[in-house]
Structure 1
Amino acid sequence: MKANETNLQEIIEGSKQYIIPMFQRTYSWDQKQWLTLWEDLMELVEEEQQYDNHFIGSIVSIPVNANPTGVQQFLVIDGQQRLTTLLILLSAVRDIAEEEEIVELSAEINETMLVNRFKKGEEYFKLLPTQVDKEIFKRIIKREITDADAESGLVKCYNYFKNKLNDITLDIEQLKNGILQNLSIVSIVLSPDDNPYLVFESLNAKGQPLTEADLIRNYLFMRIDPSEQEEMYTGYWLPMQTNLGDSLTEFIRHFLIGVNLNVKKKDVYVKLKQQADKMNVIDYLKELAIFATYYDKLLHPEKETNEKIRYYLKRIHQFEARTAFPFLLYIYRDFDFKKYSLEQFIEILSIIDNFIVRRYVCNIESKPLNKMFGSLYNQLKPYSEEDSIQELKAFLQVRGYPKDAEVLHELKHSSLYGGGDKREKCKFILSVLEESYGHKEKVDLTKATIEHIMPQTLTEFWKEELGSEYEEVHAKYLHVIGNLTLSGYNSELSNESFSTKKKYYSKSNFELNKDIVKYNSWNEQAIIERTERLFEKFIFVWPYFGVASIKDNDVTGSSPRLLFIGDETIKVKVWREVLEQTMMYIYKNNPAYYQELLNTRSLLISVEKNPDMRSVKQLPNGHYVEVNFSAKSIYTTCKKLYIDAGFTADTWDVEVEIK
């Protein structure tokens, strides 16, 4: 390795060519960096003042062709943005000189600093940028820029400096000398024996000036033979980069998570490298490209040609259910490879849609889903196609999947509408419910907005409509599903009276609104009734796919989530709470049987602490209960006590979750 302080003229003068490798990212500097370079240059050349050279950074390269009769070629490992910008600036200076008829200066810049005058083909150019930038850069050098190039960063750079040059009165040759001689650069030239990737990695991975996807591209293409790089890039990497854009890194993260790798956003490159090191790099790139086509359809459902698949992909996409993408990626691959039939694949998509929407409606935390969906594909792998779908349902059922009773309870009492992404998800749910009516003609839901039947701001009319408890009713039911609908007349309806709103609803093409017209007034009872009807429609669209109840031996290793007791639904986190809540229910609803337990089951329940109890918990009524039992013991004991107390067996159940 050789390092020395030099200038641009010494770097590019002579029969040389600098090549930006295929694995490098495209040109990315913009006006911020251009302005900094321009201001540095102006400090050096304005007002004929003498300044020391100005340091602008380093360029790291490695010689790749030492043929004495040809062009000396160098791969640029670091500093490509800086070097490319300086040559574009020189191109603009050259063209200004030509326009001002300083012909000799224009020719000197072109033939000594921009091209290798006596060489043919690509060796003619001093610099060959990477990927799509290469052809545009050639056109800048050859003065052949087209209108189609206008959006290129390279052309924008050229136009920026051209405009700056037109606005100044400096001597053009003085400016040329400033660029070539007074901008100080540290040139680091590696030995051909050095590993360019290790150098690149040390320069870029820690400081993270590149995205994780950039680092991954660099890593893969440095392992590919140069003779195959362009074919692999245009055939596999470029389509991924073009279709996925800013989602490329997230795709690779989901690709890794889908095989149960724990991958944080900042560790994508490191984790991929660990996996890819064990494989043939071209095979790995091809596999990545195949999965990218599935991910592209997850992001852009309109690219899926099958109408039924497209419908469910659109639903999952609209609900922003990206947490399921790691699992869906691999299921998509299995469908593509004929493991699953079309009907089976659609069923799996509908199960995922169902699972995520029902959990959302019931306000169940989504954070655990990242890890769960990461391991899900491996859970199903050992099973046949048909068995794996049943296993999928069983797996999801015990991971926070709500039963109908919980869905109804939450629809009645929880806000479906709100800030953040709640508004869009609320519209999604209402739109799918509207679609479920099966319109003979398509109804345009894209322009519809969410309408609160009872408005967000109460007028005197609405206070009278809701009755004396209007404040409580308004606070309790404003954002629940029963008070929400879709309308194209939201601004017109606003805080209008219910009788006025009904006139609009009666003219609406939406079935959701036709139902509202049946009511003579809009109050608490009307909202509850409509919620119950929408619940019936909801479970038609998203039906419960689990078995009716759990078996006693299913609770081992699980955590309780909900206790269904009588007509109550109680959220619980540990099995001890199931026992406490069951005992208190019996205490309140069958005190005689509770007293019998005090007399006959003193090691389970007692008025005072029993020294023979191992671990006790005080109940709200002041009594003490033994809680040192297994999950299975608590489940079976509570159910037996509940039945022995005279209550119906099917009105007690526990919803469990496997962590």
Structure 2
Amino acid sequence: MQANPRTIPFLFGSQLRYVVPMFQRKYVWQESPQWQTLWEDITEKALLRLEGKEQRPHYLGALIIEGVKPESPQEVKRFLVIDGQQRMTTLQLLLCAFRDYARQQEWRAIEKPLTRFVENPDREVMEKPDEEFYKVWPTTINREVFCSVMTAGSRAEVEKREPLQYLPRKRKPEPRSALVEAYLYFSKQIQAWIESTATSSGKESSACAFALLQCLQEDFCVVEIALSDGDDSQEIFYSLNSQGSPLSQSDLLRSLIFMRAEKEKQNRDEIFNDYWSRFETPFWSYESTRGGRTFSRLDLGLRFFLIAKTGAAVDARRVNEEYRRWVQGEPSKYATVREELSDFAKHSQVYEYYTLPTNTALPSTDFRRVITDLDVSTALPLIMFLEAEAGLDAAQKIVCLAALESYIVRRYFTGEENKEYNKLFADLVYHLRGKSGDEVMSALNHRLLAGAGTTRVWPSNDEMIDAAINRNVYHNLSRPGLRLLLERVELRLRTKKSEETDIALNLQIEHILPQQWSTHWPLEGKQVPNLMAMYPHTANDEFQPLQDAIRRRNAALQTIGNLTLLNQYLNPAASNGGIDLKLDEYRNSVLRLNRYFADMANWDEAAIAKRSQSIGEALCAIWPRPESMAVPASPSPPAQMSP
């Protein structure tokens, strides 16, 4: 390994090119802080040159490169960029913007050296002229836009080739490529600086531009670290970026995979196009926050894939480290990188199918609604295993997913803990691996029924009905989850003679006995003041005997038997009204949930309890649970991979 300071003419002045390997992430630098800071440093040095002041070189950071043996005598000398691709790409965009402005002003003495810094001459004798023409050759995801910008020739042409896009009914344009924005930023800054400096200093614009060129040529350096044959580029990249780095877990894993492809001498572009390109999309880059940390869907998908393959819980912060340990361990997991990516692509299709974009409309019978509305994405590793490698036919898969859905919904409804779901579902994967078909179905039911305590029990019918009668579901269940339960009850109440009417998206959860009940709903013949209805302990002597009855009513009105679904246009009129008004409104509803009240003359705590039991029984039928099943002995699962 050799380290040397290199100026821009040394880096870009010769016939050579820097290839950004597939394991690198796409270009991500932005105006603040990267472009702005770089430009401020450049103009500070340029002004000192105009003033004739002596100065020291400014170091832009390190560039780690690895020479590549040419494949033919015609090939332009090639270096792999192990670290520093963001810096190198930015310099190319800046130099290109400066070159285009100099060309526009017809400053040939400035244009010619800048052209030498961004283009390799003699295209006609190159092995691959469409690639070797460029001094920097970025990753596949950036190439098309990079080439478009570098060959446009002017700011106006760049804006024409890469226009802003506006979606219907959107005031702000869609985000444009950072490569385009970097070029436009430097183009505008270069022109503005030259014009303002010429005005303030009284010098010719060309003299100011020449000072800027001299500054770039002589006053800025990088520390070039050239790797030798014995240096491990993969380990160097990992050590540089694994600690305290903005690189995500999926960025680091991509580096691992494509570095191994380099060593296997596989066609990296082909592998990228066949497998990895599908992950360079807005869906997979979408970020969400979990436990105070931000992860992309690709980060989570890779983590869930590793859990599905190992049956061990994986710390979200250590996915790269654990994946490296697993894939490089004994026995060998994959013969080639292509085989590895093919397996991940198969599992990722399951992850993508079950990960719904926001506001996606699905029927409540779709298991994806359960995953989304009950917020149990921690079950996805188990689902990925069942779908992708458990050897289940269509009927067996339905049985397994139905059992899992029942387990999740019943625990949700009865209020069991879900804080250890990541360990639970990893443990299930561990005990199912090595089985297939009917063995998986049997073992899954055995493991689910074997659970005990608040963290793993599969609630019984009695526990479900007890929760229906007594649990405050309105405050303890999420609105999407509670609405899902009521939708499923509605579907169960329908008969073959019922119209096939979709359940509308604008239905709202409605209290039959309203939360503000004191005005229109007497208790034991008395009109209870609102404050006392809300806070029974404030009851005066007159209402003291009703304290327990008030508490029972307040508890009953939050149970599922007192809840229904109602059109949003009916809801305001019926919300806090009396029983007669409520029943009139319910007669306008086509839902079977509300037909229940067609012959109802009175609605009180006893009626609520009766309907709660009926709904509880319906939930048990919708999500059945085997009442008993012998549980065979099983080996203990592995410890969690990381603390």
TM-score range, shorter chain: 0.7 to 0.9
Residues 386-535 of structure 1: pairs in structure 2 closer than 5 A: 386-399=438-451, 400-418=457-475, 422-438=478-494, 440-458=499-517, 460-462=519-521, 468-469=546-547, 471-473=550-552, 475-489=554-568, 490-491=571-572, 493-535=574-616
Give the corresponding residue for 1:115: 119
Partner Cα separation in structure 2 for residue 492 and residue 356 of structure 1: 36
Deviations 1:442-476 (A, max 9, x none): 32432223223334445533466986557424542
1:5, 1:187 within 8 Å by CA — same for their partners in 2?
A: yes
1:236, 1:286 within 8 Å by CA — same for their partners in 2?
A: yes
Residues 393 and 117 of structure 1: CA distance in aligned 2, closer, same or farther (over 3 Å):
same
Give the corresponding residue for 1:254: 304
Partner Cα separation in structure 2 for residue 176 and residue 509 of structure 1: 76
Deviations 1:275-316 (A, max 9, x none): 2213323222222222222222222499xxxx9999334433
**Normalising to structure 1: TM-score of the pair?**
0.75
Residues 484-633 of structure 1: pairs in structure 2 closer than 5 A: 484-489=563-568, 490-491=571-572, 493-547=574-628
Cα drift, residue 408 of structure 1: 1.3
2:364, 2:484 within 8 Å by CA — same for their partners in 1?
A: no
Matching residue's letter, 2:387 = Y
Matching residue's letter, 1:520 = A
Cα drift, residue 359 of structure 1: 0.7
Residues 57 and 546 of structure 1: CA distance in aligned 2, closer, same or farther (over 3 Å):
farther
Partner Cα separation in structure 2 for residue 27 and residue 152 of structure 1: 9
Give the corresponding residue for 1:31: 31
Deviations 1:356-379 (A, max 9, x none): 000111111113332222132342
Residues 274 and 82 of structure 1: CA distance in aligned 2, closer, same or farther (over 3 Å):
same
Query: Residue 187 of structure 1 aligns to a residue in which SS?
Result: strand
Query: Residue 367 of structure 1 aligns to a residue in which SS?
Result: coil
Cα drift, residue 333 of structure 1: 1.8
- Which of these two proteins has the greater Rg computed from alpha carbons? 1
Cα drift, residue 477 of structure 1: 3.1
Give the corresponding residue for 1:327: 382
Query: Residue 59 of structure 2 aligns to a residue in which SS?
Result: strand
Question: Can you give the 5+ residue segments of structure 1 that lack an aligned partner in the other structure?
Answer: 559-659
Partner Cα separation in structure 1 for residue 141 and residue 633 of structure 2: 58
Residues 494 and 142 of structure 1: CA distance in aligned 2, closer, same or farther (over 3 Å):
same
Partner Cα separation in structure 2 for residue 450 and residue 265 of structure 1: 36
Give the corresponding residue for 1:269: 320
Partner Cα separation in structure 1 for residue 47 and residue 602 of structure 2: 80
Deviations 1:107-153 (A, max 9, x none): 4312x111112234111100001121012111111106465675222
Cα drift, residue 557 of structure 1: 13
* 1:208 and 2:245 aligned: yes
* 1:153 and 2:178 aligned: yes
Query: Residue 27 of structure 2 aligns to a residue in which SS?
Result: coil
Matching residue's letter, 2:343 = E
* 1:191 and 2:235 aligned: no
Residues 5-16 of structure 1: pairs in structure 2 closer than 5 A: 5-16=5-16
Query: Residue 545 of structure 1 aligns to a residue in which SS?
Result: coil
2:62, 2:223 within 8 Å by CA — same for their partners in 1?
A: yes
Candidates 144, 147, 161, aligned match of 1:135: 144
Query: Residue 140 of structure 2 aligns to a residue in which SS?
Result: coil
Candidates 392, 395, 401, aligned match of 1:340: 392
Deviations 1:587-636 (A, max 9, x none): xxxxxxxxxxxxxxxxxxxxxxxxxxxxxxxxxxxxxxxxxxxxxxxxxx
* 1:358 and 2:362 aligned: no
Query: Residue 18 of structure 1 aligns to a residue in which SS?
Result: strand
Residues 192 and 386 of structure 1: CA distance in aligned 2, closer, same or farther (over 3 Å):
closer
Partner Cα separation in structure 2 for residue 263 and residue 284 of structure 1: 19
Matching residue's letter, 2:14 = G
Partner Cα separation in structure 1 for residue 488 and residue 614 of structure 2: 15
Matching residue's letter, 1:271 = E
Question: Can you give the 5+ residue segments of structure 2 that lack an aligned partner in the other structure?
Answer: 165-175, 198-207, 286-295, 452-456, 529-545, 637-643
2:141, 2:277 within 8 Å by CA — same for their partners in 1?
A: no
Give the corresponding residue for 1:561: none
2:579, 2:602 within 8 Å by CA — same for their partners in 1?
A: yes
Query: Residue 460 of structure 1 aligns to a residue in which SS?
Result: coil
Cα drift, residue 165 of structure 1: 3.6
Matching residue's letter, 2:379 = A
Taking only the aligned residue pairs, the percentage that are identical comes to 28
Cα drift, residue 7 of structure 1: 3.0
**Normalising to structure 2: TM-score of the pair?**
0.77
Residues 236 and 520 of structure 1: CA distance in aligned 2, closer, same or farther (over 3 Å):
same
Candidates 63, 67, 73, aligned match of 1:63: 67
Matching residue's letter, 1:523 = D
Matching residue's letter, 1:292 = S
Query: Residue 565 of structure 2 aligns to a residue in which SS?
Result: strand
* 1:233 and 2:272 aligned: yes
1:5, 1:184 within 8 Å by CA — same for their partners in 2?
A: yes
Partner Cα separation in structure 1 for residue 395 and residue 469 of structure 2: 34
Matching residue's letter, 1:142 = T
Query: Residue 321 of structure 2 aligns to a residue in which SS?
Result: helix
Partner Cα separation in structure 1 for residue 141 and residue 574 of structure 2: 53
Matching residue's letter, 1:541 = I
Partner Cα separation in structure 1 for residue 220 and residue 575 of structure 2: 64
Query: Residue 26 of structure 1 aligns to a residue in which SS?
Result: coil
